[in-house]
Amino acid sequence: MEERELVARAKAGDREAMGELYEAHARRVYTVVRRLVGDEHLAEDLSHEAWVRAFEKLHLFRGDSAFGTWIYRLATNVALNRLRRSSKRDTVESSANLPRIVKAPDDAVVNQRVLSLALDQLPPGYRRVLVLHDVEGWTHEEIAQQLNCSAGTSKSQLHKARARMRKLISPPTSEEGGARGEARL
Amino acid sequence: MTDHLHIERISALLDEPWSDLAAEQHLEACEECRTEFERLSRMRMAFSGLGELEPPRGEWERIQASLEEILGPDDSIVPITASPSWRRRLISSGPVQAAAALALFAGGIFAGLQFTGAGSSSPANVLAGGVIPAVIPATGADRELYDALNEFESMGTPLRQVGFDQPDGGTLDFDAFEAARYAATLEGIIQVLRERLQEAPGDPFASGYLPYALDQRQRLAELLEANGPGSSVVEW
């Protein structure tokens, strides 16, 4: 059955069609939410919230885009709104307070698990831009529109986030806090 | 060399490799900054290779329970594992569309650009499947894309050395710096294509090229990740 038909059936209240739509897009939705919020339990809540809201508001889906795009955007909004609310309470940690994910100096491969753990440790403001740009492939213009900031701010946040990630996943060196980032061009 | 590029400036080079000539020149001369560039590039590549995560077990059942409260009970509830045929159709629709777009691209419909054959060994040729623009577009997105493709043309051949075109996957003794530069340029091209598709969602060139470029990026990421300790690639 075509996805359009599934959507039509789901709009009419057909739970089986909803289940099929869920099955087709659940991983994508959970993944983006999980990476954006950096917390497994919160991601479970928000993914659930996104899906319930999607089926509740499905009559508003006009089919201008694919259903997958729509639910992806909806889930992203749910996650970013939560981050926005919680960022008012959070204080940005200094790099000195961040736990370092220790890697052996001869570890040549960027381990995906280590990368995911480090992502979770980024301050939310950095993480959301890094995830949207480097992981999800959004442009700075799209991010700026979504976050209501300028593309320049998005770029700046991205570069800071990458620098923070490097600190988190790099092996300790004798230059810790030394040359790089201080004697600059 | 005592002064080094700030890491954020190096990070900017990953996305806009042509935007900061002074920084690029510095990289040529400074091994430490070059190493930092390579590390950032590998990290960036690893991000793009992050896979999808499994949703929590029982999520659909919880969603169903919530829907029941909101929409009322439904007699037609069945386990979502039923009927694998629809899943196959949904899964296959993406690649089919991408293949169709690529076929359109290969067929020579290029939204106003004319293309011709290029050198068979260049990375640009590998990436573009044998075509680069023959007529230089004056301005705008077409010109940007043309410049990006030519940037490839002027680069070394790290990917050939990595071995994209080798049946056994190639060797690992490639130039890590060149590979990182290649990756950065590829990112630039992907960025340009995305912006182009944003402006013109039906653009056959961009929609045909982008999946291919993304596939190349994924393959490069996999190769870089597979290139483990003891290889010639600069370690993390």
Each domain of chain B, given as residue ranges in start order, spans 7-48, 98-226
pLDDT over 80 at B91, yes or no: no
Q: Where a domain ends, among A24, A55, A89?
A: A89
The answer to whether the CB atoms of A15 and B77 lie below 8 A apart is yes
Domain boundary among the residues A36, A58, A89 is at: A89
The count of structural domains within chain A is 2
- Could you report the per-residue pLDDT of B51-83, keeping only the tens digit for each? 899 999 999 999 999 998 888 776 544 333 322
Higher pLDDT among residues A96 and A173, named by residue: A173
Check residues A153 and B2 and name the one with the higher pLDDT: A153
Q: What is d(CA A151, CA A143) in angstroms, rounded to the nearest whole number? A: 7
CATH number at residue A105: 1.10.10.10
* B135 or B212, greater pLDDT: B212
Tell me if ipTM is over 0.95: no
- Does A3 share its domain with A78? yes
Cα-trace Rg, chain A: 19
Place of tokens 């999946």: B211
- A5 lies in the same domain as A81: yes
pLDDT greater than 50 at residue B129: no
Average pLDDT, chain B: 61
Q: Are residues A23 and A103 in the same domain?
A: no
Q: Which of A89, A124, A144 is the last residue of a domain?
A: A89
Q: What is the pLDDT of residues A126-170, one digit of tens each?
A: 999 999 999 999 999 999 999 989 999 999 999 999 999 988 887
Residues of chain A found within 8 Å of residue B43, distances taken between Cβ atoms: 110, 115, 162, 165-166, 169
User: What mean pLDDT do residues B2-12 have?
Assistant: 87
Mutation for testing the B interface, residue in A9, A162, A164, A169 having most B CBs under 10 Å: A162
Chain B nearest C-alpha distance from A48 (Å): 6
Residues of B in contact with A35 (CB under 8 A): 50, 53
**Cβ–Cβ gap A28/B52 under 8 Å:** yes
Contact A34 B9 (CB under 8 A): no
A37 and A4 co-located in one domain: yes
CB contact under 8 A, B60 and A22: yes
Is pLDDT above 50 for B103?
Answer: no
Q: B58: which residues sit within 8 A by CB, 6+ positions away?
A: none
By the 8 A CB rule, do A136 and A32 touch?
yes
Rounded CA gap, B50 and A79, in Å? Answer: 19
Q: Write down the pLDDT at residue A88.
A: 52
CA B110 and chain centroid, separation: 20
- The H or E element spanning position B117 is strand B115-117
Flag whether pLDDT at B16 surpasses 90. Answer: no
Rounded mean pLDDT of B198-225?
72
Position with higher pLDDT, A63 vs B208:
A63
The nearest CA of chain A is from the CA of B198 a distance in Å of 10
| A115 and A103 belong to one structural domain | yes
What is the C-alpha separation between A98 and B16, in angstroms, rounded?
29
Show the domain range for A142.
Answer: 93-172
Q: Alpha-carbon torsion B188, B39, B152, B123, what sign?
A: negative
Q: Which residue of A has its CA nearest to B235?
A: A108
Q: What is the mean pLDDT of residues B136-146?
A: 58
Instruction: Calculate how close chain A gets to B119, using CA atoms only, in Å.
Output: 30
- For chain B, the straight-line distance linking the first and the last C-alpha, in angstroms and rounded, comes to 22
Is B170 exposed, middle or buried (CB count within 10 Å of its CB: 0-12, 13-18, 19+)? middle
Q: How confident is the model at residue A179 (pLDDT cuts 50, 70, 90)?
A: very low
Average pLDDT over residues B138-163: 53
pLDDT in tens, A60-119: 888 888 999 999 999 999 999 998 877 655 544 444 444 555 454 444 456 778 888 899
Task: Tell me the H-state helices in B138-175.
Answer: 140-154, 158-162
CATH code, domain carrying A59: 1.10.1740.10
| % of residues, chain B, pLDDT over 90 | 8
- Give dist(CA A180, CA B36) in Å, integer: 10
